[in-house]
Amino acid sequence: MYATLSPLLVAASILGLGAASSAQDGPDDWVVEADMIYTAAGDPIEDGRVVVSDGKIAALGGSGSGDTLRVTAVTPGFVDLGISIDTGALSVEQTTETAITSRVADSLDLFSYRWTRALRHGVTTALASPADYDVIGGLCTVLKTGGGSDLASREVKADACLRASLGPQPSTGNRTPSPFGEVSIYTRRPTTRMGVEWVFRKAYYDALNAKRFGLEATPEQEAGFEVLAKTLRGELPVIVRTVATQDVHTAAFLKQEFGIPRMILADAAEAWKEADLVKACGAAVLLPPAPREGRVKDRFANDTYLFALDAAARFHELGVPIALTGHATADPEATLARQAGLAMRGGLPFEAALEAVTIAPARMVGVDDRVGSIEVGKDADLVLWNGTPFELTSRVVGVILDGHLVLDPRAASGDDE
Amino acid sequence: MHIRRFAGRAAALLFACLPAASLANAQENVLQIRAHEVVLPDGSRLEDAVVVLENGKIRSVGEEHADPELPLVECDGVLTPGLIACQTASGAAGETTDSTRQLLPEARIVHAFEPDHPDFEKALAAGITTVVLAPSEWNLAGGLTAVVKTHGGEVLSSEGHLALSFSSRALAGGAQAVSFGFGAAEADPHLEATDGGLENTASGRRGNRPPTSYGGAVALLTERLGDTDGVFARAAKGKLPVYLAAWDRNEVLRAVQFATRHHLKGLLRGAPLAGDERLVGPIRESGLGVVLGPFALGQRPRSLESVKRLQDAGVPVGFALGAPARHPETFRWSGAMAVAEGADPAKVLDSMTATAARLAGVDERVGTIAVGKDADLVLWSGDPLDLSSSVEAVFVDGELVYRKEAR
Amino acid sequence: MTLPTKYTASSRFSRRSRRDGASQLGFADMKRIHTLFRALGVGLALAAPLSAGPATSSDKLVIEAGRIITMAGDDIEDGVIVIENGRITQVGTADEVEKPWDAPVLGGPDFVAFPGFIEAHTSRGMDRANENIDVAPFLDVADSIDPIAYYFEDCLRYGVTTANVQHGPACVIGAQGRIVRPVGMTIEEMTLRPRFGLKISVIPKQGKSRATQMQALRQTFEGLRRYLEDLVEKERDERGYAEREALFQGRELDEEEKEGRAMEGVAWKVDGLEIIPRGAIDEKQAPLLDLVEGRRAVFISCASPVDIGHALELARDNGFLARTTLVITPGCFKAADEIAEAGVPVVLDGGLVWRERDPRTGEEEETFVPKVLADKGIRFALSSENPSQHSLWYQAALAVGYGLDREEALAAVTTTPAEILGLGDQLGSIEPGKLGNVLLLSGDPLSITSWVERVVIEGREVYDRNTDIRNKQLLDGTQPFGTQASVGEPGDDDAADDGEGE
């Protein structure tokens, strides 16, 4: 009674994922030919060719062994610093609000289907962060979204940055003590935004002044001081979640107070309101996915924040480093590629949109030596398109990760571009 | 003494009608059993062989002729070692979780062993002669397992394994339930006293609060493995096997990597998808065994397949019982369902006997029909993994302790 | 029906102040004026999208564009469109077209002209989409349509110039629908086609099972038949009975309605209906009679492949298959063969892609439904009723991304819905003779960076993005005094998407 399924099923077959070793089904050598190759490292190459060998980009142009894949456009694999694939509350150590030495690497679920989904949508490198239930959640890890089942084979950079959160989220769940209530580890400060700021400031204050005031510190605390010292030396960037305008203010002031050289404002939906301040203090900005309407309700506070579609364009004009972020859900409207398109809709030029999802985030966390652009010697992470990238009329039809073809453009060969 | 043979298609169990006195006539405590098939340690079956028991041990296996002077039990079915369940809470319902603290590594669950509890009778009637009592996955370090017999009250081991949990349940439950600073006297010297509720955990002092994250749990357990003495120290030296509870695949991988990193011996428990191709390799390399099940009707094929995949990879597999929440009959159902999904029946039976004994650390005593082992045997009316067959008789330490009631 | 002149903020204000009219400004008056200002602010926000500069008094309009996509042949580079009295009179290059000297000119070389998008079926724009009564063909959506609903504003913003508003799917038989333009302050001003179409749903209404839903539908038509037979019989017994009954119920029949007509049903007929004055037929049954006679379009909501069979069966049994359009969700593609065989068009609601997860392997399988429909030769229109509520241009662009031909995708939001609504000769393309519904876009209609800059409906400019306050707010975050933004939910996500753990 039902129609037989058209051969145009877009089957989500992932090739080559899962085997811990590098012995995959397909060959590791590929030649990708495209009408346009957007390298994010200079002018795009027309009618170009990318030669992939041994997991790296071997050459641009010229010939290579391996099968040929012919597509319309190629971009570098996307880098998403705000992808939020974490184990929720289990990824962040809440016994202390400043879990500085906690490593999210130990709490990852690499079996989650969301990694596969992100990969299918072109995100090849992602930053795994602890959920924002702590003021300082711990150390984040940059990893590939596909590959072996253990972190070691996927890690691009361990402990790449420190995650902090201002705003209402870290204080959610904390309670002031009451004679009737049950006491738990959540009976503590902070319970307000100012408490959150206090905790952040105290952490840095202690780190800077422990010796001076003869503070007795446990080995764990000492290790925490050392991490904060690294952020102050500029060796480790700090990513701070700042959704509302007042959080952006707070972050800017804290940056200036302690002289934190590298600070990235994450989920910074309202940062556009204080664009000049952001520029002046030298922070970088991660923009959240564009909501359908202009305002989005904050889950953790009785508050809404106002999103501006042209925020990316504005920051770009001001010269503030920006990156876009997406979500790893089934909704293709929330993918990183879609965010790039929407940023263009808000006025961001194409080249800037491309950089905002590739080399710019890579630079922010210091992995631009390996990923973020199509250059000889870098990891072979490529996204293959059947049309102009980021347009609604185009789709990601192929993905190469570390030289392995994880989404095959030839599988969807039934439909033309 | 007469031996009467009952004809009939159903396997017939023959008993000489043995008044107690007649035993005394024969050699002391000697019994012969002849079964249509006897399962040998290597998994092969001996037909119409006789097994001789003496003083509670197996004296010989494979005689062709029974000594007419001695009592003989004949059965048309299959003789296997007593089944061994690698996890249960029989007789100890409610005793496997402690809600006052997350870490109680020195606690011994053997103190909750109640040999006369009806749970053990039920287990016995299902052919299970030895079980591992294990703390639940709700405590981070739940204590020490115990290996006991289901009849006679013998404790084969009061410190079988150190139970550790990599499950999220050990995190979620602990954080809220444990109060600090207001009377929860913590005798464990490794954990600091707290300085009161309100003071912020400034600059990362965790105090004696149990971890709320996977990473925190790993960090704490790693720290404990550095103890100079105690059960953690013994586990770290490889002298005490560990019993790692983990469910989701990322938890399993975390547990396996932890064991590999610290060279721990022992087994995993839970892990319904341990057969995932991404996990089999790491599990095999770690040397850990895996205790699966108990499976329920409608268990997903991917989960049942795990048995086959792990066995094919050479990973030792055992089965859990889950009593009293699960009826002991489901024990061999788990095995049968695994076979239906492609596992080798001989290996599955081995997982319920010889390998299970090894995982429980009691293979010197039980688990196989071999000379010198305890005479813990089960007579089945047919193949044990054929669900239409039933337990005809169970012997523990050479004594007939269960006999199927005649209709 | 002529369009209203645009409301400007000033005229609204002066009208209000005249009504409130106090010459002395006392405290109460100050309060009133303060309220006035607030109301003005709201009024501004509401009125603004509909106004664009000075009101045009001329009935002619010339539109220039760098490219005209006509949807009736090749695109025209540097083209000109002339609209007179609401209809397109000329389309062509600047040389080919003779521009009336007295017509204002809109557009320019930076714009792309495109026919207004057509929403083939929607249940938005009403205060509530569904009425509680199971069988309610006597209701009219006109009574529910809210001219200032956000939906109509959105229509203009995204270039939808015609919308077929129908009752929602939570009914057995719903109200009569209406084709409207998204401009006007009253329903009369908005209406393009009154009492257009009827809604039927084979999706079980709350509390019903499929069996009882189908039983209710069958019973309704059975009831119609019995009613008509009964009426004929009574009229035969007693001439004038029907007319008296109508009078008794308060319905006076005019001359036209006193005419009787034989029943024209294709599937079943009731003999002798010609003796009954048409106007005397109970207004609760009359729309159904129209339907059975094939005189009324019908939109049948389906939510699963099973529903397709039920819908087609009902339509065949009661003779309205030729006027049927199915409103389907993506999952219904599995019954595509049946739809193709029946030759009925569909409106695709609820998204473009059907996703199913293999319970064994956990892998997701996607089916792009429009391609399935296109391959089987089923005419289909896209819809802006989908989970993210993206409008028609977005859906068409997405469809191209998934592999649909550009031409097919554009047709699915212009010419095909025009045909479905029986307005294929009036709308859907830029051709002489058709209504002057034209969009001026900043780029290609399917490009993500294109915006709808101007909207012309029947020769009048009704939208200018420069004065669209809500659009400004989305774009650059400005929040004018007195306006309220709608609030979305934080998109997605996290929980419950995996289904992997055991």
* Closest C-alpha among A148, B308, B276, B312 to residue C501: B276
Q: How far is A18 from chain B (nearest CA, A)?
A: 6
pLDDT, position B53:
93
Over the stretch A99-135, which tens digit does the pLDDT of each residue have?
Answer: 999 999 999 999 998 999 999 999 999 999 999 999 9
| C244 and C266 share one domain | yes
Residue C125 lies in a domain: yes
B-C contacts (CB, under 8 Å): 16
For the ranges A263-272, C67-76, C473-482, the lowest mean pLDDT is seen at C473-482
How many other CB atoms sit within 10 Å of the CB of residue C442?
15
Q: Do A90 and B212 touch (CB under 8 A)?
A: yes
Q: Do C448 and A341 touch (CB under 8 A)?
A: yes
CA distance A334 to A344: 15
| C197 and C126 share one domain | yes
Residue C245 lies in a domain: yes
| Torsion angles phi and psi, residue C434, rounded to 5 | -85, 165
CA distance C381 to C370: 9
CA distance C474 to C485: 9
Share of chain A above pLDDT 90, in %: 68
Q: Do A299 and C337 touch (CB under 8 A)?
A: no
pLDDT class for B200, splitting at 50, 70, 90?
very low
CA distance B368 to B375: 9
Nearest to A188 among B198, B218, B219 (CB): B198
pLDDT, position A286:
97
Query: In this complex, is the C-beta atom of A109 within 8 Å of any C-beta atom belonging to chain B?
Result: yes
User: Could you say which residues from 35 to 94 on chain A have a Cβ atom under 8 Å away from some Cβ of chain B?
Assistant: 87, 89-94
- DSSP-assigned beta bridge partners for residue C453: none
CA distance C83 to C432: 9
Q: Do A98 and B249 touch (CB under 8 A)?
A: no
Among chain C residues, the shortest Cα distance to B251 is held by C501
- Does the pLDDT value for residue A76 go beyond 80? yes
pLDDT, position C12:
37
Query: In this complex, is the C-beta atom of C377 within 8 Å of any C-beta atom belonging to chain A?
Result: no
Round the average pLDDT of chain C to a whole number and report it. 85
Nearest to A309 among C475, C492, C498 (CB): C475
CA distance B321 to B96: 14
CA distance C385 to C387: 7
**Element (DSSP H or E) covering residue A225:** helix A219-233
The answer to whether C69 touches C445, Cβ cutoff 8 Å, is yes
CATH architecture observed for domain B8-81+368-403? Roll (2.30)
| C224 and C177 share one domain | no
pLDDT, position C452:
97
Residue B197 DSSP one-character state: S
Query: In this complex, is the C-beta atom of B249 within 8 Å of any C-beta atom belonging to chain C?
Result: yes
- Does the pLDDT value for residue C52 go beyond 80? no
CA distance A359 to A348: 16
Residue type, B34: R
Prior bond of C493 cis (ω within 30°): yes
- Does the pLDDT value for residue B195 go beyond 90? no
**Element (DSSP H or E) covering residue C366:** strand C364-368
Q: Do A297 and C365 touch (CB under 8 A)?
A: no
CA distance C345 to C419: 10
Among C281, C298, C316, give the residue marking a domain's end: C281
Residue C322 DSSP one-character state: G
pLDDT class for B134, splitting at 50, 70, 90?
very high
Residue C238 lies in a domain: yes
- Does the pLDDT value for residue A412 go beyond 70? no
Query: In this complex, is the C-beta atom of A103 within 8 Å of any C-beta atom belonging to chain C?
Result: no
| Torsion angles phi and psi, residue B153, rounded to 5 | 75, 15
C95 versus C472: the higher-pLDDT residue is C95
**Domain count of the fold of chain C:** 3
Section C220-240 average pLDDT = 93
Round the average pLDDT of chain A to a whole number and report it. 87
Q: Do C360 and B302 touch (CB under 8 A)?
A: yes
Pairing of strands A284-287, A263-266: parallel
- What is the domain partition of chain A in residue ranges? 27-76+372-410, 78-371
Section C277-282 average pLDDT = 89
Q: Do C502 and B273 touch (CB under 8 A)?
A: yes
CA distance B339 to C423: 65
Q: How many CA atoms lie within 13 A of B373 on its CB side?
A: 25
pLDDT class for C55, splitting at 50, 70, 90?
very low
Let me know if domain A78-371 sits in CATH 3.40.50.300: no
pLDDT, position C102:
92
Section B81-90 average pLDDT = 96
Q: How far is A11 from chain B (nearest CA, A)?
A: 21
Among chain A residues, the shortest Cα distance to B176 is held by A184
Q: Do C401 and A395 touch (CB under 8 A)?
A: yes
| C241 and C272 share one domain | yes
- What is the domain partition of chain B in residue ranges? 8-81+368-403, 84-360
Residue A89 DSSP one-character state: G
Three-class SS state of C471:
helix
Q: Do B248 and A105 touch (CB under 8 A)?
A: no
Q: How far is B301 from chain C (nearest CA, A)?
A: 7
Homologous superfamily of domain range B84-360: Metal-dependent hydrolases (3.20.20.140)
| C188 and C238 share one domain | no
For the ranges A294-298, B163-167, C172-176, the lowest mean pLDDT is seen at A294-298
Q: What are the C-alpha distances in Å from C304 to residues A353, C204, C409, C419?
A: 40, 11, 23, 25
Residue C384 lies in a domain: no
* Chain B hits for A190, Cβ within 8 Å: 200
For the ranges B297-301, C96-100, C154-158, the lowest mean pLDDT is seen at B297-301
- Does the pLDDT value for residue A10 go beyond 50? no
- Does the pLDDT value for residue B39 go beyond 80? yes
Q: How far is B102 from chain C (nearest CA, A)?
A: 24
Max distance between CA atoms of chain C, in angstroms, equals 80
Residues, chain A, total? 417
Q: Do A177 and B198 touch (CB under 8 A)?
A: yes
**Which of left, alpha, beta for C108 (phi over 0: left; psi -120 to 50: alpha)?**
left
Q: What are the C-alpha distances in Å from C437 to residues B404, C67, C427, C434?
A: 88, 16, 8, 8
pLDDT class for B208, splitting at 50, 70, 90?
low
* Closest C-alpha among B148, B3, B171 to residue B75: B3
Q: How far is B285 from chain C (nearest CA, A)?
A: 23
Best residue of B213, B247, B280 to probe chain A, by most A CBs closer than 10 Å: B213
Q: Do A393 and C487 touch (CB under 8 A)?
A: no
- Does the pLDDT value for residue C43 go beyond 90? no
**Element (DSSP H or E) covering residue A251:** helix A245-258
Q: How far is A62 from chain C (nearest CA, A)?
A: 31
Q: What CATH number was assigned to the domain covering residues A27-76+372-410?
A: 2.30.40.10
Section A244-248 average pLDDT = 93
- DSSP-assigned beta bridge partners for residue C460: C457
Could you give the ipTM of this predicted complex? 0.86
- Does the pLDDT value for residue C258 go beyond 60? yes
* Chain C hits for A309, Cβ within 8 Å: 474-476
* Sign for the pseudo-dihedral over CA of C184, C187, C193, C198: positive
Section A166-187 average pLDDT = 79
Read out DSSP for C221-239? HHHHHHHHHHHHHHHHHST
Strand ranges in A282-333 using DSSP code E only, listed in sequence order: 284-287, 295-297, 304-306, 322-324
Structure-token pair, residue A98: 């400043």
Q: Do C360 and B303 touch (CB under 8 A)?
A: no
* Chain C hits for A114, Cβ within 8 Å: 497-498
The answer to whether C293 touches C281, Cβ cutoff 8 Å, is no
pLDDT, position A215:
76
Over the stretch C410-438, which tens digit does the pLDDT of each residue have?
Answer: 999 999 999 999 999 999 999 999 999 99
- Does the pLDDT value for residue B65 go beyond 50? yes
- Does the pLDDT value for residue A88 go beyond 80? yes
- Domain hosting C489: range is 9-53+468-496
CA distance C301 to C201: 5
- Does the pLDDT value for residue C19 go beyond 60? no
